[in-house]
Amino acid sequence: MCSLSESDFTLSVNNKWTAGQHFEHIYLSVSPLTKALRLPLFLLKMIFGKANRSSRDYEALVEKYNDKLANGGAASGRFIPKQVNFEQRELLKNKLAATLAQLCKRINSYSELQLSHYILPHPLLGKITIREMLYFTIYHVEHHKKLVLQNISKTL
């Protein structure tokens, strides 16, 4: 989204989010995950609990998320982006890059077992394992990239 022209970055089709707003939404969704993974493991367990089932694989997690979307699920509250101007693009890019670097650093400190043992809350999916949250994050970015590209292609 950083290579988009100003007109593509600020384009809204049918009063849907602009590319800038999708970009902001990704930052708003990754930031709390990064913060949660900074907590000591005993606090994660105390606050959110531990898994009582095996982690879903990527495909099953994506299917569950898409089912939630098909049944009216949508971003809410703090995950709804404000208007994003083209001038904010670089700042947003830098904030997201720093957040992703922190996320990668934190992920590398978890064992495979810990990724499936500890859980976090997701606004649509409920309590999911850290592994599932990471799967969600991967898919979520691709989902929004696809929406942006669809919007841009409608104007061509």
Higher-confidence residue of 135 and 1: namely 135
Q: Which pLDDT belongs to residue 50?
A: 96
Q: Which of 14, 22, 156, 15 is nearest to 89 (CA)?
A: 22
Domain ranges of the chain: 6-153
Q: Which CATH architecture does the domain made up of 6-153 adopt? A: Up-down Bundle (1.20)
Give the mean model confidence (pLDDT) for residues 33-38.
Answer: 96
Contact at 8 Å (CB) between 51 and 119? yes
Give the mean model confidence (pLDDT) for residues 118-126.
Answer: 97
Query: Which contacts qualify for 77-81: CB closer than 8 Å, 24 or more apart?
Result: 77/123, 78/28, 79/25, 79/28, 79/29, 79/123, 80/25, 81/17, 81/20, 81/21, 81/22, 81/24, 81/25, 81/28
What is the token pair recorded at 152? 């841009």
Q: What digits encode the pLDDT tens for the residues 43-95?
A: 999 999 999 999 999 999 999 999 999 999 999 999 999 999 999 999 999 99
**Cα torsion 131, 60, 81, 5: sign:** positive
Q: Which pLDDT belongs to residue 19?
A: 94
Q: Which pLDDT belongs to residue 156?
A: 60
- What's the pLDDT band for 1 if we cut at 50, 70, 90? low
Q: How far apart are CA 92 and CA 94, in angstroms?
A: 5
Burial of 114 from C-beta contacts in 10 A (0-12 / 13-18 / 19+): middle
